[in-house]
């Protein structure tokens, strides 16, 4: 990380983020994102990583409000004034033009329709090489007082504004439509200073998503990077909602290499990493998820970037049951050194009825490299009985944070009617990792033994951490199950709730504390104090999971 060039550093932190995401290390993920944001070398990278940090912290507005008084979040969350920032702009070529014009002509009269716009000849000539050649070179116009520009798609007001700019070097307050007209004209005549001024002026006018959709088209057509950056910032600020707009999705999905360069500079890979992440969270099987991941592959330049993109698209193709395409993508990722993609190939083999082949693939990996917990966990899917149990025990030994082995053992014990042993097994992982899927399983175990008080504790803690959580493979809302279970539990008074909260807080029972706070907030308790305690618990929840990998 330290030996790489400054230009590569933010991308490496992004790849580090992806590793921590696979491990479920929330705080380390955010630390990597923050490092990527801090070391961003361009405006576009800054915009992308700031938006990603904001997206990752959605649902934590209460914590953000508490920190806002010390301006902890203000810098990364606040909008950037893109129009004031330096963005790479291609300068026009300065050709050497032989002076041949009539030096006695101080002004030039541009005829547009029936109107005449008088401009300073040399000031207009200084706007670009083409104008300089036209007014001072060997062209007919060089010795002419009057020049007809009626066929150049510029209005009299637009030309008058250009004349004023040539003298003052700045644009006054101009209507957006006129700015767009001048932008197109400046591009045609290579007036880079004028174009840059229009670019920045337009960028300052982008306020809403509809503005951004309209102006992004002009930004791409006219190669206006500042305007494009301003539009991009609006789109990113409205994630994930803006991905429900078909026009926004169209812009991101069908941009070619040149358009991506205008829109996001060299941060194309980072942008499509973010967009594909958001799209996968919304619906991993959607067409827009596929489109963004295909753009991610096109944006990838290094082998590290390519293997990540191939693997992610392979996973989505697998979910969509597009097995042949998924297999090809996983094979490409493996050829670039992505060992985990072998798990994808193994699952495809199992789907096609080649269970033994899948087992052998994982066995080959285990024997050829330093084995990790996930390898044994994956191999356990393709064997039965004692072999499966042995693999899952080995997985837990190598990586105690993997939740599936605990859940499998707990479910197996429950099937044998050994309830207390099942609860003890799932409590092993919940003692150091508040995994929602593990709390869901424990909720089911408590329901099976009709311990409704314990069951409602877990479901309320789940709803605190994820208000929209759905149980039983997404078929039932957790909030609905809570309503059903609550009928079997006596209600608490406000005093009871405070006593319960004190007891659980004192005994460092985070799940119990979150549950009590959820109930008190719902019943209209003292929200300020409760939100504060809830925020502390959520911060501890994030922090605890990150500590697991620091030893």
Torsion of Cα atoms, 503 then 507 then 508 then 511, to 10°: -60
- Binning pLDDT at 50, 70 and 90, where does residue 539 land? very low
Q: Tell me 117's DSSP state.
A: E
409 pLDDT higher than 60: yes
* Region 408-421 average pLDDT: 94
> What proportion of the chain, given as a percentage, has pLDDT over 90?
57
Query: Can you tell me whether residue 506 is helix, strand or coil?
Result: helix
Report the distance separating Cα 149 and Cα 111, nearest Å.
6
Q: What is the pLDDT of residue 50?
A: 92
Of 15-19, 36-40, 44-48, 58-62, which range is least confident?
Answer: 58-62
- Binning pLDDT at 50, 70 and 90, where does residue 466 land? confident
- Binning pLDDT at 50, 70 and 90, where does residue 139 land? confident
Q: What is the pLDDT of residue 512?
A: 64
- Binning pLDDT at 50, 70 and 90, where does residue 529 land? very low
Q: What is the pLDDT of residue 97?
A: 43
Report the distance separating Cα 525 and Cα 143, nearest Å.
84
* Region 315-335 average pLDDT: 97
- Binning pLDDT at 50, 70 and 90, where does residue 69 land? very low
Of 90-94, 191-195, 225-229, 506-510, which range is least confident?
Answer: 90-94
Of the candidates 37, 111, 21, 12, the one whose C-alpha atom is nearest the C-alpha of residue 545 is 21
543 pLDDT higher than 50: no
- Binning pLDDT at 50, 70 and 90, where does residue 47 land? very high
User: How high does pLDDT run on average in the chain?
Assistant: 84
268 pLDDT higher than 90: yes
Tokens for 294?
A: 């295909």
Q: What is the pLDDT of residue 91?
A: 43
Question: The pTM is what?
Answer: 0.82
> What proportion of the chain, given as a percentage, has pLDDT over 70?
79
Q: What is the pLDDT of residue 492?
A: 63
Strand partners, 108: 119
- Binning pLDDT at 50, 70 and 90, where does residue 11 land? confident
Domains and CATH numbers, the chain: 6-78 (no CATH), 89-223 (3.30.710.10), 400-551 (1.25.40)
Q: Are 431 and 548 in contact (CB under 8 A)?
A: no
503 pLDDT higher than 80: no
Q: Which whole-number Å values give the CA distances from 109 to 34, 91, 117, 136, 172, in the listed order?
A: 56, 27, 6, 15, 22
Give 254's contacts (C-beta < 8 A, 6+ positions apart): 291
Q: Tell me 241's DSSP state.
A: G
Q: What is the pLDDT of residue 98?
A: 44
Strand partners, 112: 115
515 pLDDT higher than 80: no
Of 30-34, 177-181, 525-529, which range is least confident?
Answer: 525-529
341 pLDDT higher than 90: yes
Torsion of Cα atoms, 413 then 418 then 423 then 425, to 10°: -40
DSSP string, 35-99: HHHHT--SHHHHHHHHHHHHHHTTT-HHHHHHHHTTTTTHHHHSPP-GGGS----PPPP------
Question: Bigger pLDDT: 198 or 6?
Answer: 198
Report the distance separating Cα 58 and Cα 53, nearest Å.
9
Q: What is the pLDDT of residue 56?
A: 85
Question: Bigger pLDDT: 173 or 354?
Answer: 354
Of 106-110, 340-344, 406-410, which range is least confident?
Answer: 106-110
472 pLDDT higher than 50: yes
* Region 164-191 average pLDDT: 92
């Amino acid at each position: 990380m330290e030996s790489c060039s400054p230009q590569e550093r933010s991308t490496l932190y992004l790849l580090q983020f992806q590793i921590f995401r696979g491990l479920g290390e929330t705080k380390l993920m955010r630390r990597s994102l923050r490092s990527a944001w801090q070391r961003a070398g361009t405006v576009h990278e800054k915009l992308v990583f700031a938006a990603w940090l904001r997206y990752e912290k959605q649902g934590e507005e209460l914590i953000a409000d508490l920190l806002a008084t010390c301006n902890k979040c203000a810098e990364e969350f606040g909008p950037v004034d893109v129009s004031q920032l330096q963005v790479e702009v291609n300068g026009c070529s300065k050709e050497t033009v032989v002076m041949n014009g009539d030096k006695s002509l101080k002004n030039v009269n541009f005829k547009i329709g029936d109107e005449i716009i008088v401009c300073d000849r040399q000031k207009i000539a200084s706007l670009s090489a083409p104008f300089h050649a036209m007014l001072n070179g060997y062209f007919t116009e060089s010795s002419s007082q009057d020049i007809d520009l009626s066929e150049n798609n510029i209005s009299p007001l637009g030309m008058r504004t250009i004349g004023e700019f040539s003298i003052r070097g700045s644009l006054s307050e101009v209507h957006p439509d006129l700015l767009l007209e001048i932008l197109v004209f400046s591009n045609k005549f290579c007036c880079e200073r004028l174009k840059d001024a229009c670019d920045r002026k337009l960028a300052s006018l982008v306020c809403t998503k509809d503005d951004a959709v309209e102006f992004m088209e002009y930004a791409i057509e006219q190669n206006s990077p500042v305007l494009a950056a301003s539009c991009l910032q609006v789109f990113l600020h409205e994630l994930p909602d803006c991905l429900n707009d078909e026009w926004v999705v169209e812009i991101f999905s069908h941009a070619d290499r040149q358009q991506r360069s205008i829109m996001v500079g060299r941060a194309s890979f980072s942008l499509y990493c973010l967009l594909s992440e958001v799209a996968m969270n919304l619906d991993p099987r959607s067409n827009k998820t596929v489109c963004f991941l295909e753009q991610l592959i096109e944006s990838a330049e290094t082998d590290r970037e390519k293997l990540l993109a191939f693997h992610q698209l392979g996973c989505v193709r697998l979910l969509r049951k597009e097995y042949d395409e998924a297999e090809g993508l996983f094979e490409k990722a493996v050829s670039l050194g992505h060992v985990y993609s072998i798990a994808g190939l193994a699952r495809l083999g199992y789907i096609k009825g080649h269970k033994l082949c899948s087992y052998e693939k994982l066995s080959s990996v285990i024997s050829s490299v330093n084995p990790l917990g996930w390898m044994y966990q994956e191999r356990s899917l393709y064997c039965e009985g004692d072999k499966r149990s042995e693999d899952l025990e080995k997985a837990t030994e190598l990586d105690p944070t993997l939740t599936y082995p605990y859940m499998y053992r707990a479910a197996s014990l429950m099937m044998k009617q050994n309830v207390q042993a099942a609860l003890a097994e799932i409590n092993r992982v919940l003692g150091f990792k508040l995994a929602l899927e593990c709390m869901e399983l424990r909720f089911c175990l408590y329901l099976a033994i009709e311990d409704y008080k314990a069951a409602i504790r877990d479901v309320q803690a789940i709803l605190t951490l994820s208000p929209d959580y759905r149980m039983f493979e997404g078929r039932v809302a957790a909030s609905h199950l809570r309503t059903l279970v609550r009928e079997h539990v006596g209600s608490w008074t406000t005093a009871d709730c405070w006593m319960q909260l004190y007891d659980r807080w004192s005994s460092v029972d985070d799940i119990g504390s979150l549950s009590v706070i959820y109930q008190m907030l719902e019943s209209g308790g003292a929200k300020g104090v409760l939100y504060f305690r809830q925020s502390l618990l959520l911060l501890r929840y994030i922090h605890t999971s990150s500590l697991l990998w620091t030893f």
